Amino acid sequence: MRTLVTGGAGYIGAFAVDALCRHGHDVVVFDNLTNGHPSAVSVPLISGDLTDRPAIFAAVESNRFDAVFHFASYISVSESVANPGKYFHHNVTGAINLLDASVAAGIPYFVFASSSEVYGDAVYLPLDEAHQLQPVNPYGLSKLTVESFLKWYDAAYGLRSISLRFFNAAGAALDGSMGEDHRPEEHLIPCAVRGALGLEPFQLTSAAVDTPDGTTIRDYVHVLDLVDAFLRSLAVLQEGQPTDQINVGTGRGYSTREVIAAVQRITGCEFPVEPGEPRPGEPPAKYASNGKAKEILGWQPAYDLDAIVASAVAWHRSHPNGYPDGDVEVSQARQADAVAHE
């Protein structure tokens, strides 16, 4: 299939591109490169922003795509609390433009990177898809809003979709060739790993919450497991699966202090943990019920927390500065290649 991957130069998007290519799909990336890295992908790359309606329409209309994987969004919970307008404009308006372009081009399948943030504070655990949807931050609300759009776009236009509500994506390629490179980095595992490796100081930013050790509890799912769920979603849509929303998580929660202990054990480094400012908008505890993913997608996680941390260590050891930036020639060459595919 010919597949458009928005945000395909970002963390999860780049892994999805790699997996799609290995499964024989023809892939084009659309990314504004605000947080993406051209060197993370080796397929045609169109540099553009989803809020630029003519740009995404032109990209979709000229390429005859069979499916869309939509990863392009801003993802910082704390930033969304401080600047909600940015998140509603990009994550919601951009999604409308992409959906309209997909409908105009007759694309039948759409797989959306949603988030466990759509649930808000847990009324019960593990979180299943029947849990109430009350986001406690603008980022989560932006994801839930797009989910609601997808239901109506199916009813009106026949664009079938699966929204994957994934929990905390983490980890890297097992050989250390690909990994997580956000700038600035806010996610716990890469920050702790970089602290252990002496690449930068580590700060504990978990708010004081009512959990056994007083730090937030999260469900960490390996990025390789996550992209497996995306490919399975596309496959079941082709088989006739109706529009749906599905959790992707391991079903096990780890506290911030448990994760730090795992990083220290695997690296053999008892690095100092400096106090930092707690991040607003963070629910105390979240972990998934993944029964629906197992039933509908035939999916189950292959990697545990130790495997996640070990792969992240391999990535940051081999790429202490992350992906090479400023590779304008690579970006321009891939954009020209994308145009040549039209």
Cβ count within 10 A of residue 235:
14
pLDDT tens column, 87-128: 999 999 999 999 999 999 999 999 999 999 999 999 999 999
* First CA to last CA distance, the chain: 15
> How many separate domains does the chain show?
1
Cα separation, 130 vs 245, in Å, equals 10
3-state secondary structure of 315: helix
Cα separation, 276 vs 279, in Å, equals 9
User: Counting beta carbons within 10 angstroms of the beta carbon of residue 128, is it exposed (0 to 12), middle (13 to 18) or buried (19 or more)?
Assistant: middle
Residue type for position 175: D
Dihedral of the CA atoms 30, 50, 116, 233 (nearest 10)? -50
The list of the chain residues with pLDDT below 50 reads 327-342
3-state secondary structure of 304: coil
pLDDT at 214: 86
pLDDT at 338: 38
DSSP character string of 187-199: -HHHHHHHHHTTS
3-state secondary structure of 26: strand
pLDDT tens column, 51-79: 999 999 999 999 999 999 999 999 999 89
Residue whose tokens read 């990336």: 29
Cα separation, 263 vs 47, in Å, equals 36
pLDDT at 329: 40
Q: CATH number for the domain including 77?
A: 3.40.50.720
Cβ count within 10 A of residue 129:
17
Chain mean pLDDT for the chain: 92
Q: Are 81 and 283 in contact (CB under 8 A)?
A: no
Residue type for position 187: H
pLDDT at 203: 83
Cα separation, 260 vs 123, in Å, equals 27
Q: Are 127 and 156 in contact (CB under 8 A)?
A: no
User: Counting beta carbons within 10 angstroms of the beta carbon of residue 226, is it exposed (0 to 12), middle (13 to 18) or buried (19 or more)?
Assistant: buried
Range of the domain at 29: 2-340
Candidates 11, 109, 139, 220; catalytic one: 139
Give pTM, 2 decimals. 0.92
- Beta bridge partner(s), residue 245: 163
109 is catalytic: no
